[in-house]
Structure 1
Amino acid sequence: MFLKLFSTKRSNLSARSVHFGKHFHHPNPEDIAFSSICVNLRQRKWKYLDQILSSNLTNSLVNRVVSEFRMSPDLVLGFYKRVGEQKSFSPSLECVCMLIHVMISSKMYEDALISINNLMQTMGYSHLEVLEGLWDSYDSEIWCPNVFDSLIRACTSFGALNSAYEVIINLRTEKGFHVSIHAWNNFLNHLIKSNELNSFWKKHAEMISYGYTENIYTYNLVINALCKEIRLQEAISMFYQMLKGGIYPNVVTFNMIINGACKVSNIELGLKLFRKMGVMSMGYINPNSITFNCLINGYCKLGDMKNAESLKDEMTKRGIQPNLITYATLVDGYLRKGCKKDAFMLCSLMVDKGIALNNVVYNSIIHWLFFEGDITTASVFLSYMIKTNICFDKFTNSILVTGLSRNGYLNQALDYHKWLVLKNLVDKDRFLENALVYYLFRSGNDNESVLKVKQVLDDMIDRGLDLDTITYGTMIDGFSKQGSMSNAIRVYGDMIKEGKKPNLVIYNSIVDGLCKNLSVDLAKIMVDELKKLGLFDVVTLNSLLNGFCANWKVNEALNLFFQMQEAKLVNKVTYNILVNFFCKIGSIQEGREVMEMMVDNGVIPDSITYTILVTNACKSKVDCYSREDVIELHDDLVVKGVKPDGQTYDSIVGPLIDEESFELL
């Protein structure tokens, strides 16, 4: 009995021994590390955590910890920061994607964007590889689908618009996943910012074809694109389409249309919308500082400073304080009109109000001072910028280089450009180099200027910059104006070899150069070829017309003129060329007849027309214009709306009128 009992217990103990053996197996190192990390992370024992992470760290272990603490993003980020400090460990794509999922789910979008950018720009993964990593680690029950919107946003943030579009299409066609309307809006917005308007319209139509419903932001993008293309009526139609669809505009909608109207000098339309904002939005929308600044800018561009100031006062009455942009716009407006005193008084008022002048205000002042040739005062303001530690930006540098060059200080402009290159402060857009080339060609010293142009171009090439279409066009135009057509044609040939496509401006420079250098027959052949390609405009034809007149090819000139009239490709320059031609051969009367034709066709003669007719009438030996005839001609032109050229009036007409008045006395 006793033995039987013993044997039973023994068998039970054996069984329990076997049973316990299954549960108390030897744990693997990763489980131990995971448990230790979790304990220390929860208690925020960072020193102990660092000791654990210094060894046996794997991507799978990191992923387990990230998943475990996904509801505590701050702990995940703290953990991940310490993981990144381990030099012996390199996180995998899956590892970083898990972290991104956590951040997006916790609405930490900016942190997520930094991680996505790091994957593509530092770790070298392509946008589609990142997409695969995010997709493979995506669980719709745990993670947020906004992660794919963030990938698109990351692509657009550094200008990779094609990559953003590929992500959208890949998700749709390969994964059967539709990104949100917000992702589409972000992509479309960057197309507009990049001035890729043709692509914008195509992609917008594609988005609509997929069945997306436009929201207020989509409509605003469409209105913005229409305003950029100066299609204001269509923008307003889109505005009413929004209302019909039950989508109410916001202040951004109004501001874009008002700004679009002001940019094309249709200030009346902008003001009308401004006054009706409350009614059109059923009282929900009021103008803000941007609305006022758009209108003030519109009036300043027209030189109407009285209405601009009136709007600034209305702004204050409505409780909206004029800001730095308001004052900067007004300062620029006064300077544009030549009212330096008013501009400087406004700057003093800004300082009194505690609004510090920034580089935008200084740039505007210095630009217009250079434009007027006031180098001394411009230098004073540059000194103020330096003394007050206001940094020069790329616009300041452009203003300095172009301002010095325009006013004949080319050596100083070249030296300043050389200093900017040395300090690595020159953008790769070639603006400064093209400006230098332009002014060097117009400096008057042909041989010296060509040598300095070569130095500028050599410097560009040494810095890895190829010559762009503007550079080639500037050189072709410069050589053409110098009369060096062989060099112009050579540069044109180099341009073609480099695969650069000439534009109409370049062709017009060549045609003009040929016409002015007694090669009008060759110019006509070129124009005929351009017509076949549809590459011509009124400038092209005016150059040829002027060439015919200069070479006394009267029949060809008249035939071309009538063809231009029939095609409605005539402007003031066209008529002035003919007026000048007839006056030069002494036929003032025929010149006046052309001027009458000009008026009949709705083209108001200008000061150039005035100077041509009055000057030639005064010295005509064919039509024998008397003093009275010249004064009568002056009066006739003024009646027709011509503003007399000051110098011509003072030297010719004024003395004749004074002489006539003296004789009457």
Structure 2
Amino acid sequence: MFLKFLRSNISARSVHFEFRMSPELVLGFYKRVGLQTNFSPSLESVCILIHVMIRSRRYDDALVFMNNLLQTMGYSHLDVLEGLWDSYNPEISCPHVFDTLIRACTSFGDMNSAHEVIINLRMEKGFHVSVHAWNNFLNHLITSNELNSFWKKYTEMISCGYTENIYTYNLVVYALCKEMRLYEAISMFYRMLKVGIHPNVVTFNMIINGACKISDIELGLKLYRKMGIMSMEYISPNSITFNCLINGYSKLGNMKSAESLKDEMTKMGIKPNLITYATLVNGYLRKGCKKDAFRLCSHMVDKGIAPNNVVYNSIIHWLFFEGDTTTASAFLSYMIKTNILFDKFTNSILVTGLSRNGYLNEALDYHKWLVGKNLVDKDLFLENTLVHYLLRSGNESTLKVKQVLDDMIARGLSLDSVTYGSMIDGFSKQGSISNAIRVYDDMIKEGKKPNLVIYNSIVDGLCKNLSVDLAKIMVDELKKLGLFDVVTLNSLLNGFCANWNINEVLNLFFQMQEGNLVNEVTYNILVNFFCKIGSIQEGREIMEMMVANEVAPNSITYTILVTNAFKKSKVGCYSREKVIELHDDLMVKGVKPDGQTYDKIVGPLIGEESFEIS
């Protein structure tokens, strides 16, 4: 009888009633008959099985049936809704069945379908899904970074008369923290208390983490210290609380405070976990403190916590970053020896690290091996990394770039904007502006829209190849589109300087000042220009203007002025005393001198062999 029921819609209510207390029997029989090649259940029969599963609180099994209807059998979300609605028996069915349909839609990222189910139930059937279904829907909007949609749908939920629970409030707090609206998140905390809902440790952790993300560690620490008072001693910190604060201090380079928090959590009886140690290890490596990082690795092993690929990825990344390829290779070998699996981040770190340090053939070979093992994602990160570094390795790399691109096309991948941008920037920096323009034309033909970074690369390439007139025409067109920034104008300014066109230099500089589009690079370009035409005094006046406009001179400003003044002193056009005076003036203005420049020029002038910059 049951097999006949599955193939048709006969006696739906009676079968539903008969099998409602035997979900295991129903599920087992369904799986057995499903092995038959000619088995094809009806929509209503599967919907009734879903009712049985929900009634028995077998939500995961119900979700499997839902996904089967939506993804395998090809029914739309509204078809399934109608099937569930038509087979609904108030005496036996459960309203949670409609919540599960929304969960099924969100589980594979179909937010529009989930919302249509909510709207259809309310508008067409007069049925309101639970607040839990809304929370599930809103949570997926946040995790998909659809924050604008989140706020609209949250407002819609409230307008429909729903009462928020702790999970709804936490979602709002989470969304506010993601948007860096920290003080609004704290206000939401007090609103929760006002309506009688006690925030939980998750609420505190999100706000503390939000404070750390905007580098306001003091606020995060203050919230942690007052957690007990603010929650009427209902809430106490957990490992996530401490890990958020440790991560905040680590990113600021304050490892002493980060380790103090690790000790504090231990005293409170909260054991530091893998995340705690991984965060501290990464913080020390970020500061270049390899000994401390390795000390912590040994300490965690002593505590019975084995470093995982996240920890090793961090170590290998920073070793490659510092150029220590030998030690990085040793750690990679150890990962292989101890069966610690490489993940996509390991692969990315390895390809990037090898490429950055000049081992491009090795990077290409490793990428080829990954392709052969089908271990390369389709996001083009590895390919774009190879193109980026290949084009910076010299003109002879063009053939290898072509090989990478041909391999992409053979695998059915299309060049994206990053690929085109890397090629345009690389060719521009090589001085091959004709190749850069050709790639730009190909990009337009393929329907890819260039961004400002790409336009800036072309402008910079034109200026460096002394095609300043073309660069100016291009910048004028970009201005009409509103597609320019200080980088664009600095490139053009540098081009005018290279052409010794003082009128164009001054006109553009004054325009940039009026538009508030100047930075330290702008001033350094001008200081360098006036020093090169022999006017150290005018270079100093530009530096004074820089200070007056609250743009801090930097070590580059120092090097330009001191080096050019010293060159003039060697030919008798500038006294050595004035070089020392210039150095002193820059120091008074808070400029940190470049160590190499000081050691070679200023130190010997004042009778010192070297000068250690603190």
- TM-score normalised by length of structure 1: 0.87
Q: Which residue of the partner structure matches residue 541 of structure 1? A: 489
The alignment status of 1:76 with 2:26, answered yes or no, reads: yes
Q: Shift of the alpha carbon at 1:375? A: 1.0
Q: What pairs with 1:22-33 in structure 2 (closer than 5 Å)?
A: 33=1
Structure 2 partner of 1:560: 508
Residue 94 (structure 1) aligned to one of 17, 25, 44:
44
Q: 1:425 aligns with which of 363, 371, 375?
A: 375
Task: Look up the match of 1:16.
Answer: none
2:7–2:45 Cα contact (<8 Å) kept: no
Q: Mark the CA change 1:67 to 1:83 in structure 2 (over 3 Å): closer, same or farther.
A: farther
Cα distance in structure 2, aligned partners of 1:483 and 1:232: 47
Aligned partners of 2:247 and 2:280 also within 8 Å: yes
Question: Which residue does the alignment assign to 1:370?
Answer: 320
Rounded to whole Å, the distance in 2 between the matches of 1:660 and 1:91 is 89
Aligned counterpart, 2:587: 638
Whole-Å separation in 2 of the counterparts to 1:486 and 1:274: 58
2:205 to 255, 258, 263: 255
* Alpha-carbon distance between aligned partners in 2 of 1:140 and 1:513, rounded to the nearest angstrom: 72
In the alignment, which residue of structure 2 is the partner of 1:321?
A: 271
Alpha-carbon distance in structure 2 between the residues aligned to 1:302 and 1:365: 18
Residue number among 227, 232, 240 corresponding to 2:177 in the alignment:
227
2:86 maps to which residue? 136
Q: How many angstroms apart in 1 are the aligned matches of 2:125 and 2:295?
A: 63
Instruction: Pick the aligned partner of 1:577 from 503, 515, 525.
Output: 525
Q: Which amino acid aligns with 1:403?
A: G
Aligned to 2:599: 650
Structure 2 residue aligned with 1:308: 258
Which position in structure 2 is the counterpart of 1:13?
none
Match of 1:379 in 2: 329
**AA of the residue aligned to 2:583:** H
Asked if 1 retains the 8 angstrom alpha-carbon contact of 2:485 and 2:517, the reply is yes
Partner Cα separation in structure 2 for residue 531 and residue 202 of structure 1: 35
With over 3 angstroms needed to count, the CA separation of the structure-2 counterparts of 1:281 and 1:456, relative to structure 1, is same
2:607 aligns to what SS in structure 1?
A: helix
Structure 1 residues 45-76: Cα deviation after superposition (integer angstroms, max 9, x where no partner): xxxxxxxx6x9974446955454121332332
Provide Cα deviations, 1:625-650, integer angstroms capped at 9, x if missing partner.
32222222222222322222222122
Q: Do the aligned partners of residues 468 and 204 (structure 1) sit closer, same or farther apart at CA in structure 2, a change above 3 Å counting?
A: farther
Q: State the number of aligned residues.
A: 608
- Aligned-pair distance for 1:82? 2.6
Q: Which amino acid in 2 is paired with 1:449?
A: S
In structure 2, relative to structure 1, the CA distance for the partners of 1:463 and 1:171 (3 Å cut) is farther
Query: Displacement of 1:395 after TM fit?
Result: 0.3
Pairing partner for 1:214 from 164, 168, 174: 164
CA distance in 2, matches of 1:298, 1:660: 41
**Is 1:461 paired with 2:371?**
no
Instruction: Indicate the SS of the match to 1:475.
Output: helix
1:157-196 pair list within 5 angstroms: 157-196=107-146
CA distance in 2, matches of 1:140, 1:620: 95
Tell me, in whole angstroms, the C-alpha distance in 2 between the residues paired with 1:503 and 1:241.
43
Answer whether contact 1:527 1:540 (CA < 8 A) is retained. yes
Shift of the alpha carbon at 1:385?
0.8
**Higher deviation after alignment, 495-504 or 353-362:** 495-504
Say if 2:387 and 2:401, in contact at 8 Å, map to a contact too.
yes
In structure 2, the CA distance between the partners of 1:517 and 1:60, relative to structure 1 (3 Å rule), is: same
Change (3 A) 1:624 1:173: farther
CA shift, 1:380, in A, is: 1.0
Asked if 1:488 corresponds to 2:436, the answer is yes
Q: CA deviation at 1:528?
A: 2.5
* Residue 602 (str. 1) matches residue 550 (str. 2): yes
CA distance, structure 2, for counterparts of residue 438 and residue 451 of structure 1: 14
Distance 1:233 1:196 in 2: 21
Q: How far apart in 1 are the matches of 2:132 and 2:605?
A: 72
Are the equivalent residues in 2 in contact too, given 1:589–1:623 (CA < 8 A)? no
Distance (whole Å) between structure 1 residues aligned to residue 452 and residue 188 of structure 2: 34
- Aligned residue type for 2:234: Y
The amino acid across from 1:451 in the alignment is: L
Aligned to 2:280: 330
In the alignment, which of 140, 151, 157 is matched to residue 201 of structure 1? Answer: 151
Identity %, equivalent residues: 84
In structure 2, give the amino acid aligned to 1:650: D
* Higher mean C-alpha deviation, range 150-159 or range 327-336: 150-159
Q: CA deviation at 1:357?
A: 0.8
Deviation at 1:623, TM superposition (A): 9.2
Quote the offset at 1:226 in angstroms.
2.6
Match of 1:287 in 2: 237
The structure with the larger Rg is 1
8 A Cα contact 2:423 2:436, kept in partner: yes
CA change 1:141–1:516 in 2 (3 A) is farther
| Residues 514 and 234 of structure 1, relative CA distance in 2, 3 Å threshold | farther
**Are 2:9 and 2:42, in contact at CA under 8 Å, matched by a contact in 1?**
no
Instruction: Output the CA distance in 2 between the equivalents of 1:499 and 1:208.
Output: 42
Alignment RMSD (CA, Å): 2.3
The change in CA–CA distance for 1:583 and 1:623 in structure 2 (over 3 A counts) is: farther
Conserved 8 A contact 2:5-2:45: no
Residue 509 and residue 141 in structure 1: after superposition, are their counterparts in 2 closer, same or farther (change >3 A)?
Answer: farther
Matches within 5 A, 1:33-52: 33=1
1:277–1:148 CA distance, 2 compared to 1 (3 A)? same
Structure 1 unaligned segments of length 5 or more: list them: 1-32, 35-52
Q: Is the 8 A contact 1:588 1:623 kept in 2?
A: no
CA–CA distance in structure 2, aligned partners of residues 178 and 642 of structure 1:
65
Task: Describe the shift of the 1:143–1:579 C-alpha distance in structure 2 as closer, same or farther (beyond 3 A).
Answer: same
CA distance in 2, matches of 1:92, 1:435: 51
CA distance in 2, matches of 1:349, 1:180: 48
Measured at CA, do residues 102 and 485 of structure 1 come closer, stay the same or move farther in structure 2, by a change above 3 Å? Answer: same
C-alpha change, 1:127 and 1:625, in structure 2 (3 Å) is farther
TM-score by length of 2: 0.93
Aligned to 1:360: 310
Distance 2:432 2:11 in 1: 71
CA–CA separation in structure 1 for the residues paired with 2:58 and 2:387: 49
392-401 or 164-173: which moved more? 164-173
Once the two structures are superposed, what CA deviation does each residue of 1:553-587 show, in whole Å capped at 9, x if it has no partner?
22222232223223322221122111111111121
Could you tell me whether the CA contact under 8 Å between 1:66 and 1:76 is conserved in 2?
Answer: no
Tell me which amino acid in the other structure corresponds to 1:552: W
C-alpha change, 1:557 and 1:623, in structure 2 (3 Å) is: farther
CA contact 2:384–2:418 (8 Å) conserved in 1: yes
* 1:659 CA displacement: 5.8
Correspondence list, 1:392-431, <5 A: 392-431=342-381
Match of 1:85 among 35, 46, 59: 35
Structure 2 residue aligned with 1:449, among 360, 380, 397?
Answer: 397
Q: Deviations over 1:65-123 (max 9, x none)?
A: 45412133233223323332344422222222111112122222222222222222333
- 1:439: how far off? 0.7
Distance 1:249 1:546, change over 3 A: farther
User: Judging changes above 3 Å, is the alpha-carbon distance between structure 1 residues 62 and 388 closer, same or farther for their aligned structure 2 residues?
Assistant: farther
The equivalent residue for 1:20 is none
